[in-house]
Structure 1
Amino acid sequence: MRAARAVAHTNIALIKYWGKRPGDPDQNLPAVGSLSLTLERLRSETTVRPGERDSFQLDGHSDPAAAAKVARHLDRVWRSANPGPRPPCAVDSTNHLPTAAGLASSASGFAALTLAAAAAFELDLDRGALSALARRGSGSAARSLWGGFVRLGRGERADGADCRARPLFPADHWDLRLLVVHTAKGPKPIGSTDGMQRSADTSPYYPAWVATSEADLERGERALADRDLAALGAVMEHSCFKMHACMLATVPPLIYWNGTTLAAIHEVWAARRAGLEAYVTSDAGPHVKVLCRPDLAAELAARLAAVPGVHAVDTLAPGPDARVELLP
């Protein structure tokens, strides 16, 4: 075993993922595909080293629940190519973004952990196989192995072998900006995994959400290929609000938004009516993401920063591929 460090950037789904396929829970198979944009700056850095015993620190702190998830994922990576017992590992991770707040910290975190562990264990796996492994830690992590625009298919096989992400277009394909509008602080009250299961079990809109997702993915990929912001924005907003409608109809309702979330959404729509072309999306959290051209980003960010309750607005370009290096 070697020591290795990986850096992976978070991604935001433009066409959403919500819900899991029936089957082995450890495979973590999505009920629908997704299409995402990897972001600059927002990233996780993870180092995996040989240790006397398993240990895990996130941002300098220990968390037993998180350590158990990390150990399970190390086991998955090890067992993908090794029949024997896994060596103990010391794992240190730093999130350069808020954790568990609806900004996909699990995507960058598990992507970085997968890459670092595979390199530390000296596994000869291609990015597709690594993507399938990362998915088992977090569904959106499969997409964070690549920069730019990435699509994850739902797959059909029970073993998940065909459920892996693939890059559509690199970061320099289209010079867009994503504004991340922070409307709250701290972790969200209900995790995505629990929320997805609750929606699948109780929301009357869940079957329609699953049935209509593939058409959204095709529309989104065509819009990306054509660099058609109006077409991409329309299907992006449609996917977002369908997902949140499914959440709202869950029993009890899943409401990840707050008043500032809605105010920021209305501000984007007001700006669009005024000629500032921009489109909104929001994940399972309170924050709002706004897609726009680079020349409009500063003006839109200023408008959104002035919305009461907004804590900050980050302006982000498309980000790079995940990377890994062996350490001495």
Structure 2
Amino acid sequence: MKKYKAKANANIALIKYWGKENEELIIPNTSSLSLSLEALYTETKVSFIDSDKDKFYLNDQEQAKDELEKISKYIDLFRDLAKNNKRVLVESYNHVPTAAGLASSASAYAALATALDALFETDLSKKDLSIMARRGSGSASRSIYGGIVEWEKGQDYESSFAKKIDNPGLDMAMIIVLVNKNKKSISSRQAMKTTMATSPLYESYINHSKEDLEAIKEAIKNKDFNKVGEITEHNAMQMHATIISSNPPIIYFEEDSIKAINKVRELRTKGIPAYFTMDAGPNVKILIQKSDADKVMEELLKDYKESDLIYSDIASEDASVEVLEC
């Protein structure tokens, strides 16, 4: 029996996705834009098994009942599409700290969708794979692709999907400062719900995010790295201001997050273009020009251990799959 192994890269949003218009179909309230990162990825193997239930291992650890139920429900989407009720063994390996605000769910569901498409022989297009990945985790829609990716909000199941954005030659890379590798105390999914229900700033955030998306696409088109960075920083801080204004307040910042942000600002005073962003977690991502990577790392290593820093080029390859003979 054949086993299929898929690989997908995590992505970091420059224009954030925060909140759903449709919870069940995972249709967002705004479109978003991200960079796929070469250094962060998930590899997932899938195969059919003779069993009355699926099996799910993450990093060689068999997962608890609630995680298995979540994965089985997702596999049901492919079972229904293929009209095939066989049970599946899922063996997933995250080369990303799980649930630490580093988009592990994005790469995980993009890899799983790609592997299941091969296993169930559903032969989905990239657009349809993006839609199916979205059903597992919204940001996973973007991890089907490498490079710069836009997730179009859409209005329904078929129109909400990700697509590649042409890069006219922007010189970009990213460095992640690992403030905290542990699982965050409040999941993105729960924090989104609380923010939408209670934050007085949420509607303003949605409106400004739409403006930011158009502005950053124009800056990309014009190869204006500094403008891309400025928009990225402001969009992230708008999102966090909105989250903090929830009731009760949700704060992902830690003391070392502020330290890292101030370090990025210090880099700019030294004439090195660098800009920060943060997702739903304390870790800080620094957008830089690849040509400045050595200088930036030299500066960061004055304050951080090498093990606390992850450098990544922008991943150019889309999610891929290979056949393993069992």
Give the aligned partner of residue 274 of structure 1: 270
- Aligned with residue 163 of structure 1, among 139, 142, 160: 160
Following superposition, the deviation at residue 76 of structure 1 comes to 1.5
Counterpart Cα distance in 2 of 1:282 and 1:312: 16
Asked whether the 8 Å contact 1:305–1:312 carries over to 2, the reply is no
Partners of 1:199 and 1:40 in 2: CA distance: 31
Corresponding residue SS for 1:6: strand
Equivalent residue for 2:71? 70
How far the C-alpha of 1:32 sits from its partner, in A, is: 1.1
- Which residue of 295, 300, 304 corresponds with 1:304? 300
CA contact (8 A) 1:260 1:310 kept: no
Unaligned stretches of 5+ residues in structure 1: none
1:316 is matched with: 312
1:220 matched to 2:216? The reply is yes
Percent identical residues:
37
Deviation of residue 309 (structure 1)?
8.9
How far is the alpha carbon of 1:315 from its aligned partner? 1.2
Q: Within 5 Å, give how 1:166-185 maps onto structure 2.
A: 166-169=163-166, 173-185=169-181
Letter in 2 for 1:66: E
Q: What secondary structure sits across from 2:258 in the alignment?
A: helix
- The AA in structure 1 aligned to 2:234 is H
Residue deviations 1:12-48 (CA, integer Å, cap 9, x gap): 0011111110x3x321111111100000121100011
Local SS of the residue matching 2:20: coil
Give the alignment partner of residue 41 of structure 2, picking from 37, 40, 43. Answer: 43
CA contact (8 A) 2:39 2:311 kept: no
Instruction: Tell me how far 1:173 sits from its aligned partner.
Output: 4.0
Taking the TM superposition and a 5 Å limit, the aligned residue runs for 1:1-328 are 2-21=2-21, 23=22, 25-53=23-51, 54-64=54-64, 65-79=66-80, 81-82=81-82, 84=83, 86-157=85-156, 160-169=157-166, 173-307=169-303, 312-319=308-315, 320-328=317-325
Equivalent pair of 2:27/2:155 in contact (CA under 8 Å): no
CA RMSD of aligned residues (A): 1.7
| In 1, Cα distance between equivalents of 2:307 and 2:282 | 12
Distance 2:304 2:310 in 1: 16
Q: CA deviation at 1:123?
A: 0.5
Q: If the length of structure 1 is used for normalisation, what is the TM-score?
A: 0.94
Contact kept, 8 Å, 1:78 with 1:118, in 2: the verdict is no
Task: Tell me the secondary structure at the aligned position of residue 28 of structure 2.
Answer: coil
Q: Is the 8 A contact 1:6 1:323 kept in 2?
A: yes
Gaps of 5+ in 2: none
d(CA) in 2 for partners of 1:311, 1:246: 32
SS at match of 1:152: strand
Range that drifts further, 118-127 or 174-183? 174-183
| Contact 2:177–2:283 (CA under 8 A) maintained in structure 1 | yes
Residue type of the alignment partner of 2:40: L
Higher strand share: 2
Deviates more, 1:126-135 or 1:318-327: 318-327
In 1, distance between residues paired with 2:199 and 2:67? 29
The offset of 1:310, in angstroms, is 8.9
Counterpart CA distance in 2 for 1:78 and 1:231 is: 45
Structure 2 SS opposite 1:212: helix
1:225-254, Cα deviation, whole Å (9 max, x unpaired): 222111101111111000000011011111
Greater alpha carbon shift after TM alignment, 173-182 vs 98-107: 173-182
Q: 1:306 to 1:187 in 2, by over 3 A?
A: farther
Distance 2:208 2:306 in 1: 33
Length-normalised TM-score, structure 2: 0.94
CA deviation string 1:276-301 (max 9, x = no partner): 11111010011111111123222222
* Counterpart-to-counterpart distance in 2, 1:14 and 1:36: 5
Deviates more, 1:65-74 or 1:253-262: 65-74
> Counterparts of 1:278 and 1:138 in 2: how far apart (Å)?
29
Report the residue type matching 1:285 in the other structure: G
Q: Aligned residues, how many?
A: 321
Distance 1:295 1:56, change over 3 A: same
Structure 2 contact 142–151 (Cα < 8 Å) conserved? yes
